Amino acid sequence: MPQSKKINPEEILKHHELKATPQRIEVLSTFLKRNQVMSLAELNKMLGKEFDRITLYRTLNTFEEHGLIHKIPDSNGNINYALCKHESLDHSHNDNHIHFQCTSCNLTVCLEELEIPIIRIPKKFNPVKYIFLIEGICEDCDGKVKKHKGLV
């Protein structure tokens, strides 16, 4: 039988040179369990109200600095968080992709396969990082609207 790749939060943390504290393990496990974009509110809810919010704040900062997660800001200034996809346990990861957010239900997704196109900008601006968010309506919400309007 093929050995399924086990995702061990402790090992991931150590590979990123982070102390494997219970809090970090819990946060990382939450990301691995849900495996989707999460808002701070959703994270707080999943972790339970016993989990210290300042610790979560610092944990998210630390995870981002070490390339475990990336932030996805939306047009209202709300920030969502997503795990960075890693091939195996090495440090390579790629956040340079487009994100989509449904303005109706707030579903937010990483479009990992869609790289952000490089744009030439005036030379007095030295580009470092690109953020490309597409806002719109997801399939589910679109369906509901059409159904409600009697179009289906």
Partner DNA sequence: TGATATATGCAACAATGTTTCATTTGGTTA
Partner DNA sequence: TAACCAAATGAAACATTGTTGCATATATCA
Q: Which residues form the interface with DNA (CB under 7 A)?
A: 13-14, 18-24, 39-41, 44, 51-55, 57-59, 62, 76-77, 79
Quote the least distance from Cβ 143 to Zn ion, whole Å. 9
- CB-based burial label for 51 (10 Å; 0-12, 13-18, 19+): middle
Selection from 140, 147, 138 nearest residue 111 by Cα: 138
* Residue whose CB is less far from a second copy, 11 or 65: 65
Quote the least distance from Cβ 101 to Mn ion, whole Å. 11
Provide the 8-state DSSP code for 2: -
Quote the least distance from Cβ 56 to DNA, whole Å. 8
Q: Rounded CA gap, 50 and 21, in Å?
A: 16
Quote the least distance from Cβ 111 to a second copy, whole Å. 6
Task: Report which secondary-structure segment, H or E, holds 144.
Answer: helix 139-148
Q: Which does 110 bind (CB under 5 to 8 A by kind): a second copy, Mn ion, Zn ion, none?
A: Mn ion
Cβ atoms of 67 and 94 closer than 8 Å: no
- Chain residues 90-149 in contact with a second copy, contact rule CB under 8 A: 98, 100, 102-103, 109, 111, 114, 117, 119, 121-122, 124-139, 142
3-11, 33-41, 122-130, 135-143 -> range binding Zn ion (CB under 5 A) = 135-143
Q: Rounded CA gap, 31 and 129, in Å?
A: 24
Residues that bind Mn ion (CB under 5 A): 82, 110
